A and B are shown apart, each in its own frame.
Chain A
């Protein structure tokens, strides 16, 4: 490994750091002012890339010379900035005061909507943009060729940093942005036109995202899916740098760029893991990143389960539901049973999350980790140790519980948005391991041939088996929620100060809750693996976590039965609608947004609300 190679590798690292910083800078600015972690930031980046890859070739055809290329990049970024304004006015403006879970989900709804819209507008195929005129030829560095465009990118990062610095220091807008980042109340007190400030910030943030995306077009083709990969990295950058801190983002991007460039030499197959591991380590040592400040946790306790009078019919309803479940094999066909099986599995998955979110107020954004660990645990023990299903399921459950125990140890030290980001990072690490540890997990291929034992292989027996396990697990969890342990979790959620003052060891309780919840999700994951006959890394992905959150949200976070209803509703909807349209994600995104805006209490909560109003 000679010097010139190391130098080139360092330059590669710098250029990806630059690109990353430009995008992450927008994210962190938006967070600083609005306190919203904007999942859709990655979508804006994607739109920037698509727009530029479509627009710039048209402009180049006009033959105005190299300047048209850069004009096209800038125009694309401005277009994206305007889209950002649109998102602010239509959506964000309405959820500034909402609990962070709702904010995260609503912006994720935008991600889903944009994914389908982008395909509608730009077509399904990947678009590689033109190369920058005048920068096609490489430059020679220490006897090696290096793309000259990358040098431009390397310069772009510091330039953007400088311009943003000037903007923040020298303009009234910048002063306001900084003030808002420091102290939100102050801005309100100053009588500043907040709406304008927030809209302006969103324009700036979206502009930077668009710029980051547009600058990529000569080297990366614009494609669906770039939104989630960039947002995951941008999250890492902002969290490591400290949410809201621009210099922090720059430093973090530099470190991550080099880590990736050289990490590929040392751990060629664990590039994804390295990045998220960095984030986990930084958060474990400095819970608020390099330059971040503790966030006043606000308003989260507004959502969650509250004590309510036990309905006299509760037992009857439960019996009726179980009875219907038991008699389903008599009336349903094989496919209906398959759907019912999956609904049960997702109900358990969502319900396990309810223990964290609704009961403990711990907003986990990476619950897929435990679902996936359960599935992989079962599949791996089947593949490597030839365990039968009866042993593989507990093995999956144990793996998930162990994972939750480990991750929980880090997570319960954090709160609010940092906690959500940490769970997300943890899930991404496990995703990356499953994805890149090909020898053991099969990587992208996953593991196939995960079929139930002979006695349970028919649709009816497997359904009944699932019904039994899920019913037991849910009843146990309900018991826990109503037991002192569940109350202690709620106590800590309602008021940490009070909970501590009456001697509750909040972290220990949350840690145990995390583990129990992980175990339950793991059981669901194991069942899912056997239901589908295979596992693959997508079980661990962000969309799976969001699925669980969406089910919770649809059902209603304040209710115990919400997640069960939510799982049923979402799954049936998906099953009915997905075959009919290629716009399923658009629809799902709109549903999520609508629920956040219109029915924040979810189906069960809303119905119960009507009942209470009448009485």
Chain B
């Protein structure tokens, strides 16, 4: 049994053991429904679970919210839209949770947003990055914490201006997230880099890349700039094949999320140095609050944090704050409490913008380097999300509500 599920069983056992005596003393806990792709995307979601578990423990140790403890009922969303909505149904109807949060893949996120809208339940998308969740498919029940594709790509494109690269190739997984990122990139690079053109596009199926063929197809177009959206095993294979065939040698590479430890560590010493990426240089962030989080996390799990850990931790705290502000777990009250509220988080203040329910959380942007046996980021800086968000007019133009 994996360590993680072991802790789940243990937690279950402990919960059962302590449930009886404390129930008399206290009100029933507030149930939060959580769903994520724990089997399919363990690299990200398992640290994410540790993150929310830690926040949950901390919050409950201090007495919970509104005098009630928090309880998180967590499920695997199967990484498919159908399974996710089914699990959501179970959480809402059988477990009676007050809100839903989680999910990893963007297509699942979109399905969840649609579900939330249909069933009028609050859904907080933690990881899914596609713009659709807060734009075209956005609705008043759906909120997102992480910076969207539009925001992160915007940060990267700004970095690309200086490189002078004009002939751009795109490689992205062929599903909602990759498609959305590629679309944003095409738009922004043309807007912000005069003379830029797209010379090749490759969209391998998620998790099914034929790395050799993909690399030779890109090579064929002789790009001087490459925009990469691949992550996970696809990325690892792509990097290895690209290194071998010299694809990256004379090209500027922009890459989404590659600086996040969950995707960087599997590359080991084969990190493609010099890529401009968004990521999470957790060990170099010196703000005391963040450092305290890292120390506590390492002490608790004997493991270094991933971006997922940070996110899981932040989400639960933001939910707590929202509930406190709302004074209840009524959906309408919580929506009101979330909208345009400034949350104090371990990475500083984050506001949940009301017009599109997108938080202003930013990202760390820098270059990849090899540090010892593993990759890391250098020349990085944290970019707040606010200046990169779509304008009010853009939001109004696409949102249907």
Contact = CB atoms under 8 A, between A and B. Distances in A.
18 contacts: A16-B210, A124-B42, A125-B42, A138-B245, A138-B246, A145-B245, A147-B244, A219-B212, A219-B241, A260-B210, A260-B213, A271-B210, A444-B206, A446-B81, A532-B85, A533-B111, A534-B82, A538-B82
A131 B94 CA distance: 49
B237 interface: yes
B175 A219 contact: no
Given A5-B216, A150-B212, A128 B237 contact: yes
B205 A435 contact: yes
A126 B233 contact: yes
B111 A534 contact: yes
A446 B43 CA distance: 24
- If over half of B's interface residues share one DSSP class (helix, strand or loop), that class is named, otherwise mixed; here it is helix
Contact of A338 (B89, B114, B219, B236): B89
Interface string A426-446: 000000000110100001111
Given A124-B46, A446-B82, 8 more contacts: A119-B39, A120-B2, A125-B266, A147-B241, A219-B240, A438-B174, A534-B114, A582-B39
Contacts of B228: none
B124 to A, nearest CB: 18
A126 B232 contact: yes
B280 interface: no
Contact of A120 (B1, B176, B216, B245): B1
A448 B237 contact: no
Interface in A433-486: 435-436, 438, 443-446, 448-449, 451, 457, 459
B378 interface: no
Interface in B185-225: 203, 205-208, 210-213, 216-217, 219-220
Most chain A CB neighbours (cut-off 10 Å) among B39, B82, B110, B203: B82
A579 interface: yes
B107 interface: yes
A335 B111 contact: no
Contacts of B320: none
Interface string A194-227: 0000000000000000000000001111011100
Interface string B96-117: 0000000000110011001100
B38 interface: yes
A229 B94 CA distance: 35
A534 B2 CA distance: 31
Contacts of A338: 86, 89-90, 93
Interface in A312-364: 333-335, 338, 342
Interface of B: 1-2, 5, 38-39, 42-43, 46, 75-76, 80-83, 85-86, 89-90, 93-94, 106-107, 110-111, 114-115, 118, 137, 174-176, 179, 203, 205-208, 210-213, 216-217, 219-220, 232-233, 236-237, 240-241, 244-246, 266
Given A119-B39, A436-B205, A444-B107, A128 B240 contact: yes
A540 B107 CA distance: 17
Contacts of A260: 210, 213
Contacts of A145: 244-246
B232 A443 contact: no
Interface of A: 1, 5, 8-9, 12, 15-16, 119-120, 123-126, 128, 131, 136, 138, 144-147, 150, 218-221, 223-225, 229, 260-261, 264, 269, 271, 333-335, 338, 342, 435-436, 438, 443-446, 448-449, 451, 457, 459, 528, 532-536, 538-539, 575, 579, 581-583
B236 A449 contact: no
Given A124-B39, A444-B205, A536-B80, A335 B114 contact: no
Contact of A219 (B118, B176, B237): B237
A444 B38 contact: no
Contact of A533 (B46, B85, B220): B85
| Interface core residue of B38, B220, B233 (most chain A CB under 10 Å) | B233
B80 A538 contact: yes
A260 B210 CA distance: 10
B43 to A, nearest CB: 5
Contact of B82 (A1, A12, A261, A536): A536
A548 to B, nearest CB: 16
B233 A223 contact: yes
A265 B110 CA distance: 32
Given A126-B233, A532-B85, A536-B82, A448 B114 contact: yes
B236 A221 contact: yes
Contacts of B93: 333-335, 338, 459
A579 B240 contact: no
A534 B233 contact: no
The CB with the most chain A CB atoms within 10 A, among B81, B220, B240, is that of: B81
B2 A119 contact: yes
